[in-house]
Amino acid sequence: MTIPVSAALRNVLRAAPGALTLAIVASLTLAAPGDLDPGFGDVGRLLLPDLPGPALSVAARDDGIIVAGGKIVRDFDTEVDDQAFGFAVRLTTNGILDSTFAAPALEDIMVVDTELQSDGRIVGVGNHNFGGTGIEPVAFRLDSNGSLDTGFGAGGIVELPRLTAVASVAVDPGGTIVIAGIWAPGQTPGGDLKVIRLLPTGEPDESFGDEGAFALFGDIEQLPSPTHILSAAGGGYRITVLEFPARYWKCSVLALTPDGDVDPAFGVDGFAEVGDPGKSVLCESMAEAPDGRLLVAGSEGSRAFLVRLLANGARDPDFATGTLPDLAMAQATDVAVDPDTGAIVVALDDDEPGFAVARLQADGAADESFGEAGTTRWTCPLRTAAHILRSRAMRPFSEMATCSSPAGAGIRSSPGWPAEMATTVPASSA
């Protein structure tokens, strides 16, 4: 069956005890916009059993969907005995497990984030189990069949000694790789936000920042932490940064030049604060529109939050949606933009089992032709955890969402995790 190309696709991961549910919105004329897509899996849903941890990342192109993740089992007596477990599987666009793809090298890497290169290779970051020495952050690159790319680093894996934790990865058009993470060695209170860049071979790019790294120094009060990095279409990078300056969370977008310096032309000295000052704002995801404007999704207080920034970092006064009051959801966990129409897809979470996907017009108004007044809701098997795990760019022209894993998965050691996925139909196919 051929799925017509008509709307942007995004994948969202969310925590749900004992089950991983993936929901996709695809284009079919047999169902209404926002309905489950009968062309994916079992009437719009797919169950993947026995994963060794929660799915933390989904990345896809027209020819398939990569689902990756894992967990860390902590040994509280000695960190060197911590164990990392990971996986990556590929699905066809119709929701069939691809038997030609296998990534056994990721069995001891908890995959945190992945990005697909234009040539089909898969770049990722995660936590590697170096038996006897503890767990360290690494970058890896897979060939399109799942095997390690031996032309990258040492047999496909690059150790990242400048970081103690990884958060997000992006790939430049030329193949260089940028990684956002944290440097907080030992028992140091607080930590520094760091961005490093690797050459396509996996070697450090010493021309980036200060000898290969950009650092935003923090202290025990600020705790600057990156949540998402993207390679801007116009050059340079945009990073969502969380800080805790005065008993509330603050979110800003940091702009770096292509050379790894703060971009003073963006916001105020390179920073654009998102949300109202004095309110607790958490940023979960960010997407760039073709014209360079940025959409930042998260929560402000107890409400879902979505804001659009102009390319210079100023808040877009023509964008209608702020705290998404009509949707009454606790947080927006992922966002994507249709490059052709400017339509916006937002994943939403609340305290009830399940989650929602909303489709907005380019100006932020609800697309009422999608689902029920612009929103489609799914129910996960059990009540979800507090946060939805982020994912990255999905195969174009559909919307995808996922329920995954319990909170505290990093210390749980159950042998298998079911993964359930579902798809729906976008507004453009009506």
Q: How far is CA 40 from CA 97, 199, 274, in A?
A: 11, 37, 37
For residue 388, report the phi and psi dihedrals to the nearest 5 degrees: -95, 135
CA 380 to chain CA centroid, Å, is 20
Helix (H, G, I), strand (E, B) or coil at 107: helix
Q: Is 177 inside any structural domain?
A: yes
How far apart CA 319 and CA 335 sit, in angstroms, is 15
Q: Is 331 inside any structural domain?
A: yes
The pLDDT profile of the chain, 430 residues, written as one tens digit per residue, is: 222 222 222 233 322 223 344 544 443 435 677 777 777 777 777 777 677 887 788 887 777 888 888 888 877 666 566 788 899 999 887 888 899 999 999 999 999 999 999 888 999 999 998 765 678 999 999 999 999 999 999 999 999 999 999 999 999 999 999 999 998 876 655 678 999 999 999 999 999 999 999 999 876 566 788 999 999 999 999 999 988 776 778 899 999 999 999 999 999 999 999 987 778 888 888 999 988 999 999 888 878 889 999 999 999 998 876 545 455 567 788 888 888 888 888 877 766 666 777 888 888 888 888 888 888 777 655 433 222 222 222 222 234 445 543 322 222 222 334 444 444 444 444 3
Q: Is 204 inside any structural domain?
A: yes
Tell me the residue length of the chain: 430
Q: Is 23 inside any structural domain?
A: yes
Q: Is 5 inside any structural domain?
A: no
Task: Give the end-to-end CA distance of the chain in Å, rounded to a whole number.
Answer: 18
pTM of the full predicted structure? 0.82
How far apart CA 348 and CA 247 sit, in angstroms, is 25
Question: What is the domain-level CATH number for residue 193?
Answer: 2.120.10.30
* Residue 380, domain extent: 13-429
Tokens of 418: 């079911």
Q: Which of 327, 306, 304 is nearest to 387 (CA)?
A: 304
AA identity, residue 319: F
* Domain tally, the chain: 1
Q: Is 144 inside any structural domain?
A: yes
Contact between 5 and 396 (Cβ < 8 Å): yes
Q: Is 237 inside any structural domain?
A: yes
Alpha helices in 136-287 (DSSP H): none
Q: Is 8 inside any structural domain?
A: no
Helix (H, G, I), strand (E, B) or coil at 326: helix
Q: Which of 84, 127, 130, 125 is nearest to 107 (CA)?
A: 84
How far apart CA 181 and CA 3 sit, in angstroms, is 37
